């Protein structure tokens, strides 16, 4: 993924269509970029979301200087004429974590919790762009069917999946994948088995998020297999539908977890790397949709414009660069 990002970034930032008169150091690489008008210039506070860098242990760069503004938008990295010329291959797989209903007046503290109005607006934007919202389960093996579509996924199995997301998708004829932890189903704040059965009958896809919401990469071999197997088996037994996909909690994935999941019978594993997914791949990259994701940024992401993906991944890479302080 890192080499792919650098390859795309080199082509994108050193495009012959622009005059290369600046250099951006990324690790051992030096990427050239063109000068932009002041109103389009990339600012460091758009690379980092203010406060996010404090969540990482150790000594890391902190360059956010303003209040939280969300991820980099396409217009912050390049002009519209260049944006339209740089589109990535693959399918945008969106990752949601809960929708706050219009009736809920309490301000959410979780940055991943979207307002219902924003979620509806995003669905309508996909519709206007002639991009139907589909599920992995019904489209993953047919690249042609999903070539001009957007995949929607929901993690954690929160109550809003049934109360808010499900009816909004259903009324538009859309489908989605809902990844649940089997151990939390039926608990306060989460969907019930009866609700999941109704969603399944209506054409939604119910998939696994593991038995419990734990980092799978930290488990022993035996505990890992138990989490994977128990989460998959219970959903299949309760709903009578095959569970083909698992989304790993916290986005933590390594080769050991991937191999174990495939051995148990999963078709593919979903991570949280912000990049368009390749249909039929064993690892499915997903794009986190946050409360601060603007409508403009959302549209650029579902249209697979290169800029926001490069911006997100450069930010992610920079957050993991330790300070070289003696």
pLDDT in tens, 11-28: 544 444 433 444 444 444
Distance in angstroms (rounded) separating the CA atoms of residues 259 and 194: 32
Question: What architecture (CATH level 2) is domain 93-304?
Answer: Alpha-Beta Barrel (3.20)
> Does residue 94 contact residue 151 with C-beta atoms inside 8 Å?
yes
Say if residue 243's pLDDT is above 50.
yes
- Cα distances (Å, whole numbers) of residue 109 to 26, 54, 73, 167, 315: 33, 16, 23, 24, 22
pLDDT in tens, 98-108: 998 876 766 66
Burial of 164 (0-12, 13-18, 19+ CB in 10 A): buried
Residue owning tokens 């957007």: 150
Domain map (residue ranges) of the chain: 2-85+307-319, 93-304
pLDDT at 101: 84
Q: What is the dihedral of CA 55, 59, 64, 67, to 10 degrees?
A: 30
Output the CA torsion sign for 184, 189, 190, 196: positive
H or E, element range at 114: strand 114-115
Helices (H), 129-252: 136-139, 143-146, 160, 166-170, 193-201, 221-239
Better-predicted residue by pLDDT, 169 or 33 = 169
Which of 288, 302, 287, 285 has the alpha carbon at shortest distance from 121? 302
Say if residue 155's pLDDT is above 90.
yes
């Amino acid at each position: 993924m890192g080499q792919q990002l650098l390859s795309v970034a080199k082509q994108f930032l050193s495009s012959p269509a622009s005059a290369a008169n600046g250099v951006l150091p990324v690790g051992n690489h030096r990427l050239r970029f063109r000068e932009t008008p002041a109103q389009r210039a990339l600012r460091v506070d758009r690379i980092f979301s203010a406060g996010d860098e404090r969540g990482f242990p150790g000594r890391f760069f902190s360059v956010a200087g303003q209040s939280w503004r969300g991820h980099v938008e396409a217009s912050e990295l390049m002009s519209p004429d260049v944006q339209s010329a740089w589109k990535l291959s693959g399918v945008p797989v969106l990752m949601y974590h809960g929708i706050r209903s219009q009736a809920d007046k309490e301000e959410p503290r979780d940055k991943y919790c979207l307002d219902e109005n924003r979620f509806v607006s995003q669905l309508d934007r996909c519709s206007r762009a002639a991009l139907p919202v589909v599920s992995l389960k019904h489209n993953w093996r047919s690249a042609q069917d999903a070539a001009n579509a957007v995949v929607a996924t929901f993690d954690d199995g929160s109550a809003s999946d049934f109360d808010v997301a499900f009816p909004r998708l259903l009324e538009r004829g859309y489908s989605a994948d809902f990844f649940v932890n089997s151990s939390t189903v039926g608990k306060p704040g989460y969907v019930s088995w009866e609700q999941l059965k109704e969603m399944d009958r209506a054409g939604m896809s119910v998939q696994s998020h593991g038995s419990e919401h734990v980092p799978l990469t930290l488990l022993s071999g035996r505990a890992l297999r138990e989490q994977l197997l128990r989460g998959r088996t219970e959903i299949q037994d309760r709903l009578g539908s095959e569970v083909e996909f698992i989304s790993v909690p916290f986005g933590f994935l390594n080769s050991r977890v991937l191999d174990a999941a495939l051995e148990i019978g999963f078709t593919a594993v979903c991570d949280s790397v912000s990049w368009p997914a390749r249909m039929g791949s064993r690892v499915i990259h997903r794009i986190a949709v946050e409360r601060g994701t603007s409508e403009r940024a959302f549209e650029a992401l579902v249209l697979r414009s290169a800029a926001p993906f490069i911006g997100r991944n450069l930010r992610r890479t920079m957050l993991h660069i330790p300070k070289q302080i003696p």
